[in-house]
Chains A and B, each alone.
Chain A
């Protein structure tokens, strides 16, 4: 910890080519997990050999949605909740662009919930990296659709009493064809999950459990270290999870690829094939 920023840049990691280094440091708080997800995404692109000029990154509004600003590709920071709708237009018109959406639990599942289920239903080839920090970080700690029962937020004094979404199940039910869960603690594993999501032709959803150290952590009396240790101790690789007896699953979450289906057709491919038949033409 506490490595000076200049020292980090000196390392000249291979994935730095995906960063707008002149825009660093980021706005994120010390210890925030969003940077880990950006790093994992850049490493994934590097290993896939996808050039900066082939990537569009779209986001909504929130701390997590600030990610595209630091990503050296074709980037669009849009309106709260609507990233997937913007991305749908972009991807449909330019299917050749690898399209990644960065979003948050509020952005994706409160205000953006409708766009999410419809993008998943269409099975459009977009990779969604959803930073689940269980709270509205940017607006300073209000309850979100993923806030656990009992957690402290600024709009649920005394603890959250609203049930939350199981977002992975929701994604699957809506039609996503690749669903994974990773954490900001397990960065190498997260990189692999995002990499497979990008490779997958169809709607990919990667939930990233990510500490909001400054807001969620402070409100719930968890230190930075405790939040990362929680991720380490309470998430279980999916293979081990499957063997776990029901009573030992309580309070824990599986991580890894939760669902993968390569059989369903991808939206833009279906659309442009129809166009070919009808017009025999290019756009």
Chain B
């Protein structure tokens, strides 16, 4: 039986985090993400968890990594300027393999930009914002129900791979009220993954020795006998710094491989009317909602359009995008930035189909009619 509830996007994120087992939140207020913090401040104490409003976003990111090392499932949420401030410690979390979830409710940028309006300008930053090579899973839901699903999925992958996971929302999603079917979120129905624990006695324990899955089993700090060291410097299996080139190479390759090898299982897309499509739209988040309507409008006009809505945006669905390019005559990538994910779509299309853009970064959404006229333009150009 469906259990329908009207939910606010940012609150859905907070409530799903609690369901996923999140028991630590640190953050700093910023529009349009603050309602996540406010909801966590109410929920966490009631669920025996810790909430703290830190002095800034740098500190918030640091605090969740500290709590993660103490064994907590931990989260922080922010928006544009705050996401920039979190970058150094996000890279640290990646390097020391601290499971955590970082939510970025995107607004218009750059800089203070458009605080109360939508943007999708952190598509590249979410992956490349912190210095050094890396691969961080990035999930981007498209409706309030999915905010809940993706928040839980973000925690699960963070714990399983011992990595930070970025959850991208946007201002419209965060501030949207939508009906959610809570049936799938009754605690006995939610699948929860937890980080693995060491399976060796303390004398043999090496915190950074990876298992077959490339993931090390680091004991929560405070576990008797399982003491260890963590550093953002390149390190060996003990966690102690090293500059040995073989060790450094092994580490950086493993950190990336550990995420990359799970791409097929992590991949999540919605395919809409793609079977017979001649022109495909690739979109995500709020823009994908408009794209879906545009597909229906185009079909009414006899244009065989379809939509690939990407949910796991990083690691990107390379194969799927390549197949799509082989299957259609043209691809359109509408996004609320000056052209970011389109670069990845072009890379994956490998020239199999021309890739068109529709960009906007002025705080306004892209409307279905605008996508439709772009589709018409593309079709006209190709006959």
Contacts and interface: CB of A to CB of B under 8 A. Distances in A.
Interface stretch (A79-87, A164-172, A219-227, A244-252): A79-87
Interface stretch (B52-60, B248-256, B281-289, B323-331): B52-60
Contacts of A266: none
A45 to B, nearest CB: 13
Contact of B59 (A85, A96, A281): A85
A87 B64 CA distance: 10
A275 interface: yes
Interface string A221-262: 000000000000000000000000000000000000000000
A93 B55 contact: no
Interface stretch (B12-20, B67-75, B174-182, B352-360): B67-75
A111 to B, nearest CB: 10
Interface stretch (A3-11, A52-60, A139-147, A195-203): A52-60
B52 A283 contact: no
B229 A279 contact: no
Nearest to B51: A271
A271 B67 CA distance: 15
Contacts of B60: 85
B59 A90 contact: no
A39 to B, nearest CB: 19
Interface in B205-263: 221-222, 224-225, 227-233, 240-241
Contact of A82 (B62, B225, B228): B62
Contact of B74 (A52, A68, A89, A94): A89
Nearest to B220: A94
A189 interface: no
B65 to A, nearest CB: 6
Interface in B2-46: 23-24, 26, 45-46
Given A88-B52, A89-B65, A114-B55, A56 B45 contact: no
Nearest to B88: A79
Nearest to B74: A89
A93 B48 CA distance: 10
SS class, residues of chain A in contact with chain B: helix
Nearest to A94: B70
A138 to B, nearest CB: 12
A79 B365 CA distance: 38
Contacts of B92: 78-79
Interface residues on A, range: 35 or more
Given A73-B227, A77-B233, A89 B24 contact: yes
B232 A79 contact: yes
A69 B240 CA distance: 7
Contact of A86 (B56, B63, B227, B228): B63
A19 interface: no
B47 interface: yes
B113 interface: no
A76 interface: yes
Nearest to B44: A275
Contact of B89 (A69, A82, A93, A281): A82
B232 A93 contact: no
Contact of B50 (A73, A86, A115, A271): A271
B69 A90 contact: yes
A74 B228 CA distance: 5
Interface of A: 20, 23, 52-53, 56, 58, 68-69, 72-79, 82, 85-94, 96-97, 114-115, 118, 271, 274-275, 278-279, 281-283
Interface of B: 23-24, 26, 45-50, 52, 54-56, 58-60, 62-72, 74, 88-89, 92, 96, 221-222, 224-225, 227-233, 240-241
Given A79-B92, A90-B66, 19 more contacts: A53-B225, A56-B221, A75-B227, A76-B69, A76-B96, A76-B229, A77-B232, A82-B59, A85-B54, A85-B58, A88-B52, A88-B66, A89-B65, A90-B69, A92-B24, A97-B222, A114-B55, A115-B62, A275-B45
14 contacts: A53-B224, A58-B66, A75-B227, A75-B228, A78-B232, A85-B58, A88-B62, A89-B26, A90-B67, A93-B71, A97-B70, A118-B54, A275-B45, A281-B48
